[in-house]
Chains A and B, each alone.
Chain A
Amino acid sequence: MPQRIILQVEGITKIFGGLRAVDDLSFELFENEILGLIGPNGSGKTTVVNIITGFLKPESGHVKYLGEDITLKKTHEIVSKGIVRTFQIMRPFRELTVLGNVTLGTLLFEKDVQKAKDKAIEILKKVKLEDKKDVLCSDLATPDQRKLELAKALALNPKVLILDEVVAGLSAQETSMILELIKELRDKSNISVVIIEHVVKAVMKIADRIIVINAGKKIAEGKPKDVINDPTVIKVYLGEKIRS
């Protein structure tokens, strides 16, 4: 079934000093799809996220959202359109409680603070963080901070959700809880997801399609099963065959 392209990345290149962090990279994200983006450390994954969300401007190439060029748009404009990210290095607002943090997200489409808080509590229930709603973010342990990052992103009512290492540091149980949640969101709320991970197994489980990048270049693309058997991928990234 041919699907509508929701996000299109066309030949983006980003150079830091002498390093081509992202090198002529192109890919597309279909509506209602979960796309895995994997690659070894320093392969440019987070840079791609930064370019899509307007934190960085590429040297060349374009990012298109539903056909509209958003490459040079500001981050807050991109977020308002529905492209929302989480941060690999968690960035909660430290002086706010968990509820305060998520409320900041829900306020984007809700002027009334009380209503925004109610919406925020709904989201906290989804990620099972409701019991910690009055905890200060600087007092939160890593797994809960990961969940908070996700809750903050969901609060912004995303159409495209970009998850940068959202399960890193979580236990197996918590990981599957979050992955289930992401799947459920995709099924129920018609969200498209880009999931960037080190934990390849995690991505394998839920991604419909996987793109592998190395040194800023796309080296493989396809169904999870095909990608892990691709010899180039095994060589640069996995080192050995993964038994699945």
Chain B
Amino acid sequence: MQKIKIVKMRFAYTFFISLLLFLVALPLVVQQPYILHVIIISMLLAYLCTSWSFVSGYARQVSLGHSVYVGIGAYSTALLYYHFGLNPILGLLAGIVSASAISILISVPSFKLGLRGPYYTFSTLALAEFFTYLFIGLRDLTGGELGLALPFKNNPFYLQFQGKIPYYYIMLSLLVTVIILANRIQNSKFGYYLFAIRNDESAAEACGINVFKTKIMASLLSAVLTSIGGFFYAIYYMYVTPESVFGLSLSFQIATTSLIGGATSWIGPTIGAIVAVPILEVTRATLGGKFIGFPLLFYGIVLVVMGRYLPGGIASRLFRDKERVR
């Protein structure tokens, strides 16, 4: 038994290193912008899903409002650049600060009041909806529903580049950082504590774990990392609308993709994104506008099948952790 599990763990590392080498080398061979674009958005989604999993996977405080932090990161960058011509790096910092503040504002009262399960989930969902409409409403500042198109000045100091490759490597380094962080956390005291909370909050308290503090830390970490993803969204697309970054569909996509891949594994969310994004992109390219609801249908079917046969996600079957099942 034990031998099999260790082999599986090694397999996870082998998989990660091969994936890394593949992604580093790919632009040397493939230069079609469309393919690079698909890979960039897969990596962005993998990044966001991994960030989400810290609080919603490891600790099972399921958030369906993580687009809030994507939106805050994206809009902090976009607004400061658009209105004041500030460097996106400053926008990134502003995004991190604002995301932390919002995360504290939502998680402290919810966890203090002991909101658990669906109640916490719905409060995060409501928060995301609130921000969507807030940013639509602040028309003078945000351009309303039409959003903001950021002027392109081709200035590398403003992280503006010709072509996709520089963005590709920025995103790749973000993704690798977050995956390594996830791996470190999973094998740390903090990771164990999150896992205890996921299983049984009262029993976790009885193990001397400060459940409240641990949950706050996880939310904060998750929010900050997610807002960095939002920052990347803004510098990559150079165009943000409230619906695209704050909207519920992004929140749902982050949650479902993580679950498909395995939200309690450091590599799981990445696998989810690798599986989901290319399928969605290919179907969108081939079907065109004929089946607009297809992505939702796809996610629906996959989730039902996964829930029945593989509740821990793909990673749970492929690489099982030694001390944990899912």
Contacts and interface: CB of A to CB of B under 8 A. Distances in A.
Interface of A: 53, 55, 74-76, 79-80, 84-85, 87, 91-97, 99-100, 103-105, 107-108, 111, 113, 116, 134, 136, 152, 156
A162 to B, nearest CB: 10
Contacts of A113: 187-189, 192
B116 to A, nearest CB: 16
Given A80-B208, A103-B192, A113-B188, A96 B202 contact: no
Given A55-B206, A93-B199, A134-B5, 15 more contacts: A55-B205, A84-B206, A85-B206, A93-B196, A93-B203, A93-B204, A95-B325, A96-B199, A97-B324, A103-B323, A104-B193, A104-B204, A107-B189, A116-B189, A134-B1
6 contacts: A85-B206, A91-B200, A93-B195, A96-B195, A96-B196, A108-B209
A79 B206 contact: yes
Nearest to A157: B208
Interface of B: 1-2, 5, 187-189, 192-193, 195-196, 198-200, 202-211, 322-326
B323 A97 contact: yes
Contact of A76 (B188, B210, B323, B325): B210
Given A95-B198, A100-B323, A104-B196, A79 B187 contact: no
A76 B211 contact: yes
User: 9 smallest A-B Cβ distances: which pairs?
Assistant: A100-B323, A79-B208, A93-B199, A75-B205, A91-B203, A108-B208, A95-B325, A76-B210, A107-B189
Contacts of B202: 55, 75, 91
Contacts of B326: 95
Nearest to A55: B202
A15 to B, nearest CB: 21
B323 A96 contact: yes
A116 B187 CA distance: 12
Contacts of B5: 134
Contacts of B211: 76
Contacts of A55: 202, 205-206
Contacts of A104: 192-193, 196, 204, 207, 209
Contact of A93 (B2, B200, B205): B200
A94 B199 contact: yes
Contacts of A95: 195, 198-199, 324-326
A92 B325 CA distance: 14
B324 A100 contact: yes
A80 B209 CA distance: 9
Contacts of B325: 95-96, 136
A156 B208 contact: yes
Given A94-B199, A95-B195, A76 B209 contact: yes
Given A96-B195, A103-B192, A111-B189, A53 B206 contact: yes
